[in-house]
């Protein structure tokens, strides 16, 4: 099946001219899905002047403005005419031709022409372009030639752009002597900008970026400048009839069941044909295309609780872009979806996904995600035995590769110093504690456990005060009763800095001048009086 792509900027895909008018059709898309619709637009304009190089010479409507330009038949025939105008590189400069001055009165005006460049072969006098960025610029001026504006730039292989490609393209030289023209006979047609309406203007075709080696020829035929005049109602004052039967409408949107040919014709009030377009073929994509995609491998990983894992679809081919993707009936905004493993430790998740192309062809598959995490705080606690140890002992299962740290919930989850035993933990004082597990960069924490049920005897009349807090160099620890206690200083990471034993002063002055500014913790405890308390201090 023939597939045709309309080049960006090619405003007219087909046209034909009569003695007095030109009619063209613009497809919005030359390849569509089966049974879809496409908008086709037609316009008709009078021919202001046309040159087919009768008598083997350029008409007075055009002049050679530079370089080597001549009418010839030496390099084969044009499909519609025997001769053509050749623009060739020689030592006389860059070839170009310029139109006469004309008045652009109405919209739907422009230029149309046929263009050809032969096979690149430096040994042949019919040698075509040899550089990929070598081409013909379509330019216009509205100030008498002081400045020229680019309308379009046409390069070998039919590439046309709205900029001059000044740098050589990668692998810039075209393949020589392959027997194929670098640009087969192709019709190009471009509308003039609206800024030119109501202006006297000129148009020129100029070759650019020749390698300078003979001959880099471009051949031109059927040069047409078209545009309405007077009241600008040329099309509406005549009968426009489409091959579908639609009449006097400039736009139709037919349904395309298969490759379909369209034409449009213009008649005068007496039914006399004035001009017809060349055929336009709107092609259809093949039915039941087979879409393929790189498979999403069934995924097994050790990840953190509450992690979000992203998956991306890649290399989707075989269908018609753009593609849409649904995962578990949810449409993705792009080719990526994510899975949140909230509160899951070991599970298998099933995700069905469907890829649909622009024509409704589909591809579907199933993704299995095995989620395995070796960090599960809620399953490691075995038992709490408040009769063991001074303040209660917790026994828990140890898992290889998992690190443990007990936290003091009542003090912003401060790490309990040294509480990293692999199998049991004895609470050093009353309060709430939680167990933090870490493995492979993942962290999970149990709920806080309260030992208020442990029947622990705690002296109620012990009152401890630390002042000043914040402090600069020294802090005083005051006790309300006679107390024999130990004191340990920790940093915010739970690292032990220093320890004092058997303190009995009711006002103990602790010099901490050597500490850096920051937050620290002081634990005051007494084993024989079943007492322990943690304080937060700030050094300024």
- Contact of 150 with 138, CB cutoff 8 Å: yes
Tokens of 506: 């009711």
Domains of the chain: 15-47+235-284 (2.60.40.10), 50-226 (2.60.120.260), 290-372 (2.60.40), 377-450 (2.60.40.10), 464-539 (2.60.40.10)
What does the block give as tokens for 50?
Answer: 């046309």
Rounded CA gap, 124 and 143, in Å?
40
Q: Is 434 helix (H, G, I), strand (E, B) or coil?
A: strand
Distance CA 242, CA 400 (A): 80
307-353 pLDDT per residue, tens? 666 777 778 889 999 999 998 888 888 777 777 665 555 566 777 88
Q: Which residue has the tokens 């030496």?
A: 74
Instruction: Report yes or no: 226 and 207 within 8 Å, Cβ to Cβ.
Output: no
Q: Give the Cα separation of 49 and 202 in Å (integer).
A: 12
Q: Residue 141: its pLDDT value, please?
A: 97
CA dist list (Å): 140 to 59, 144, 147, 195, 454: 19, 10, 8, 11, 96
Cβ neighbours of residue 513 closer than 8 Å, sequence gap 6 or more: 473, 474
Q: What is the pTM of this model?
A: 0.52
Strand 110-117 relative to strand 218-226, pairing: antiparallel
Give the chain's count of helices (H) and strands (E). 0, 46
pLDDT at position 23: 83
CB 111 within 8 A of CB 189: yes
Q: Within 41-179, where are the H helices? A: none
pLDDT at 420: 78
pLDDT score recorded for residue 276: 87
What residues are paired with 535 via a beta bridge? Answer: 522
Put the strands of the sheet holding 507-511 in their side by side order.
464-467, 474-479, 507-511
Residue 263's Cβ-side half-sphere holds a number of Cα atoms within 13 Å equal to: 11
Residues 172, 178, 179, 185, CA torsion sign? negative
Residue 81's nearest CA partner among 60, 55, 52, 112 is 52
pLDDT in the model for residue 384: 47
Query: Residues of 268-297 as b/e, b for ≥16 C-beta within 10 angstroms?
Result: eeeeeebbbbbebebbbbeeebebebeebe
Cβ atoms within 10 Å, residue 329:
8
State whether the Cα torsion 111-116-120-121 is positive or negative.
Answer: negative
Beta bridge partners of 47: 226
Helix/strand/coil for 20: coil
CA distance 227 to 200: 13
Residue 533, classed as helix, strand or coil, is strand
Question: Can you read off the two tokens belonging to residue 518?
Answer: 């920051």
Q: Nearest to residue 201, comparing CAs of 288, 301, 99, 272?
A: 99
b/e sequence 460-485, b meaning 16+ C-beta within 10 Å: eebebebeeeebeeebebebeeebeb
Strand partners, 187: 114
The three-point CA angle 247-253-259 to 5° equals 105
Q: Which residues of the chain have pLDDT under 70?
A: 1-19, 27-29, 90-92, 122-123, 167-178, 211-214, 295-309, 340-348, 370-400, 421-430, 440-441, 450-462, 527-531
């Amino acid at each position: 099946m023939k597939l045709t792509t309309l080049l960006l900027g090619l405003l007219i895909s087909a046209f034909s001219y009569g003695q007095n008018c030109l009619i063209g059709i613009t497809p919005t898309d030359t390849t569509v899905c089966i049974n879809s619709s496409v908008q086709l637009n037609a316009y008709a304009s009078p021919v202001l002047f046309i040159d087919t190089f009768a008598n083997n010479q350029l008409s007075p409507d055009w002049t050679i403005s530079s370089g080597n330009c001549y009418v010839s038949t030496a390099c084969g025939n044009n499909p519609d005419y025997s001769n053509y105008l050749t623009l060739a590189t020689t030592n006389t400069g860059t070839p170009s031709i310029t139109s006469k001055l004309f008045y652009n009165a109405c919209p739907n005006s422009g230029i149309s022409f046929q263009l050809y460049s032969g096979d690149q072969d430096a040994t042949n006098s019919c040698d075509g372009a040899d550089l990929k960025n070598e081409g013909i610029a379509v330019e216009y001026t509205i100030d008498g030639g002081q400045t020229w504006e680019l309308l379009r730039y046409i390069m070998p292989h039919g590439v046309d752009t709205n900029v001059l490609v000044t740098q050589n393209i990668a692998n810039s030289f075209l393949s020589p002597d392959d027997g194929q023209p670098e640009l087969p006979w192709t019709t190009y047609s471009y509308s003039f900008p609206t800024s030119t309406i109501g202006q006297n203007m000129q148009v020129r075709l100029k070759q650019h970026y020749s390698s300078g080696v003979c001959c880099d020829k471009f051949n031109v035929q059927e040069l047409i400048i078209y545009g309405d005049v007077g009241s600008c109602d040329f099309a509406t004052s005549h009968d426009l009839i489409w091959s579908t039967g639609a009449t006097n409408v400039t736009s139709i949107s037919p349904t395309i069941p298969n490759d379909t040919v369209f034409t449009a014709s213009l008649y005068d009030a007496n039914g006399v044909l004035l001009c017809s377009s060349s055929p336009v073929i709107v092609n259809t994509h093949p039915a039941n295309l087979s879409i393929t995609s790189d498979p999403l491998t069934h995924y097994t990983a050790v990840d953190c609780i509450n992690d979000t894992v992203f998956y991306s679809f890649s290399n989707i081919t075989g269908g018609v872009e753009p593609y849409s993707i649904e995962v578990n009936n949810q449409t993705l905004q792009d080719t990526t979806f994510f899975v949140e493993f909230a509160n899951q430790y070991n599970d298998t998740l099933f995700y069905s996904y469907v890829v649909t192309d622009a024509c409704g062809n589909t591809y579907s598959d199933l993704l299995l995600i095995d989620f395995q995490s070796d960090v599960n705080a809620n399953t490691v606690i075995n038992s709490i035995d408040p009769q063991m140890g001074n303040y209660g002992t917790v026994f828990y299962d140890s898992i290889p590769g998992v690190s443990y740290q007990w936290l003091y919930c009542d003090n912003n989850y401060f790490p309990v110093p040294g509480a990293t035993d692999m199998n049991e933990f004895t609470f050093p004082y009353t309060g709430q504690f939680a167990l933090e597990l870490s493995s492979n960069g993942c962290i999970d924490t149990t709920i806080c456990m309260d030992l208020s049920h442990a029947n622990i005897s705690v002296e109620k009349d012990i009152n401890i005060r630390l002042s000043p807090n914040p402090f600069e160099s020294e802090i005083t620890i005051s006790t309300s009763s006679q107390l024999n206690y130990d004191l340990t200083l920790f940093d915010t990471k739970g690292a032990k800095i220093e320890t004092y034993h058997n303190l009995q002063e009711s006002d103990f002055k602790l010099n901490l001048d050597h500490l850096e500014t920051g937050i620290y913790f002081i634990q005051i405890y007494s084993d024989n009086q079943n007492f322990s308390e943690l304080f937060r201090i700030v050094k300024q």
